[in-house]
């Protein structure tokens, strides 16, 4: 008897639990549908959004206020110094226009802060990379020119154009002269008299000079250098010709 009573209680509990579970399941479905709708409504991804298509205009050249008066989009604005566009004018946009996008899409605008005027700093004896970083802060364009010198360590700034103390504006071109090791433009003539002609030619060519061979009858063994037109130790311009006379041997 007790066992039958227990079974009836269990069946009753199950009958009560089923409607509760159904209500909870229905609530979960409604919540999920609401969440998905919310995601679709706010999403900027064109693959999943249900926002309507709108035409994206070209904002470049407009003032930032004129551009943002178009309420169909969300905006992200970055201000930068610029010498080509007046202050508060849109320089560029992303996505570019014209094109069709979803309503409420994010549009990134780059807006001019106008021309920045600064005083040219003294960059002499500063490392090249440090000078470039300082000039980048001024918004100027940098032109690098290497200059041979033995007065400055290699890699340091020798001078700038314009020079330190002169007003410069963003977009101006600033030239910085960077020191490089001075390259010798002359070569020392080696002593080759008495050498075999092959060794003499090798010595002259290796020194950065050129050689001209003139053969002549002489008592010295054939192939021996008997004379050179420039004495040993003389400095000549790179590529200069050194003439040597080579014995043909006695006749």
CA 148 → CA 143, 157, 239, distances in Å?
17, 12, 20
The total of other beta-carbon atoms located within 10 Å of residue 218's CB is 17
The single-letter DSSP state of residue 93 is E
3-state secondary structure of 205: helix
For the whole model, what pTM was predicted?
0.45
Tell me the longest C-alpha to C-alpha distance in the chain. Answer: 148
- Percentage of the chain beyond pLDDT 70 is 80
Co-location of 108 and 123 in the same domain? no
Tokens of 188: 């020392």
Q: Which of 24, 43, 30 is nearest to 103 (CA)?
A: 43
Report cis status (omega within 30 of 0) of the bond before 126.
no
Residue pair 241/211 in contact (Cβ under 8 Å)? The answer is: yes
Return phi, psi of residue 206, to 5°. Answer: -65, -30
**For 139-152, how does the pLDDT look when each residue is reduced to its tens digit (9 = 90+)?**
889 999 999 888 89
Q: Per-residue confidence at 170, pLDDT binned at 50, 70, 90?
A: confident
Q: Which residue has the tokens 């249900």?
A: 50
Domain range spanning residue 7? 1-42
Structure-block tokens of residue 222? 């054939």
Mean pLDDT score, 117-141:
93
CATH of the domain at 236: 3.30.10.20
Residue 86: Cβ-neighbour burial (10 angstroms; 0-12, 13-18, 19+): exposed
3-state SS, residue 230? coil
Q: Vertex 197, ends 191 and 198: CA angle to 5°?
A: 105
In a domain, 32, yes or no: yes
Q: How many domains does the chain have?
A: 4
Positive or negative torsion for Cα 221, 222, 224, 225: positive
| Residue 241 to residue 212: CA distance in whole angstroms | 7
- 165 lies in a domain? yes
User: For residue range 54-68, what is the model confidence (pLDDT) as tens digits?
Assistant: 999 999 999 999 999
Answer with the one of 82, 112, 142 that is the final residue of a domain.
112
User: 118 pLDDT exceeds 60?
Assistant: yes
pLDDT in tens, 23-33: 566 666 566 65
Q: Examine the domain organization and report whether 204 and 241 are in the same domain.
A: yes
């Amino acid at each position: 008897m007790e066992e039958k009573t227990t079974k009836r209680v269990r069946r009753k509990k199950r009958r009560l639990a089923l409607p509760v579970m159904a209500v909870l399941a229905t609530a979960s479905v409604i919540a999920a549908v609401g969440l998905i709708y919310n995601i679709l409504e706010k999403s900027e991804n064109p693959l999943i959004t249900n926002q309507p298509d709108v035409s994206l205009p070209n904002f470049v050249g407009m003032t930032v206020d004129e551009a943002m008066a178009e309420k169909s989009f969300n905006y992200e604005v970055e201000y930068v110094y610029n010498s080509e566009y007046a202050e508060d004018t849109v320089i560029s946009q992303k996505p570019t226009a014209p094109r069709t996008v979803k309503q409420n899409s994010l549009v990134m605008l780059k807006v001019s802060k106008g021309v920045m005027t600064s005083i040219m700093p003294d960059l002499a004896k500063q490392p090249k990379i440090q000078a470039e970083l300082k000039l980048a802060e001024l918004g100027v364009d940098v032109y690098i020119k290497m200059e041979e010198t033995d007065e400055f360590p290699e890699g340091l700034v020798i001078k700038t154009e314009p020079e330190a103390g002169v007003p410069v504006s963003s977009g101006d071109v600033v030239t910085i002269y960077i020191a490089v090791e001075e390259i010798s433009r002359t070569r020392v003539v080696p002593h080759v008299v008495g050498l075999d002609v092959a060794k003499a030619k090798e010595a002259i060519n290796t020194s950065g000079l050129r050689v001209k061979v003139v053969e002549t009858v002489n008592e010295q063994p054939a192939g021996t250098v008997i004379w050179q037109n420039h004495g040993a130790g003389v400095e000549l311009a790179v590529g200069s010709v050194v003439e040597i006379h080579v014995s043909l041997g006695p006749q």
